[in-house]
Amino acid sequence: MAARSNPLTEKQRQVGAFRLSGEVHQWMYDRYSLVCLLTKCGFRSPRVCTAAESAIPNWTGYNLDSDSDGVVYKPDSLFMEAFK
């Protein structure tokens, strides 16, 4: 039996490429819902911050959210910090 041809639309190809790029999210949080979740899980003092702010010494030196020139990788991201 010959395999059936099932051509994808351009939109389906774009969605597939996006999902394979590592950008798939099961849930998106806003600052309100993330504060609620963090507090419920026992974290204290949750706060919104920038990619360059943290209580961790030399945070920007790790280049996790920005490169060595200070350019933020994902400037539209929500950055928060809390303590356990």
Please say if the pLDDT value at position 5 is more than 70. no
Q: Are 47 and 80 in contact (CB under 8 A)?
A: yes
Residues 6+ apart with CB under 8 A from 73: 51, 65, 66, 67
**Tell me: the pLDDT tens digits for 12-66?**
888 888 778 776 777 789 999 999 999 999 999 999 999 999 999 999 999 999 9
Global confidence as pTM? 0.65
User: pLDDT value at position 78?
Assistant: 93
Residues 6+ apart with CB under 8 A from 34: 46, 78, 80
User: pLDDT value at position 59?
Assistant: 92
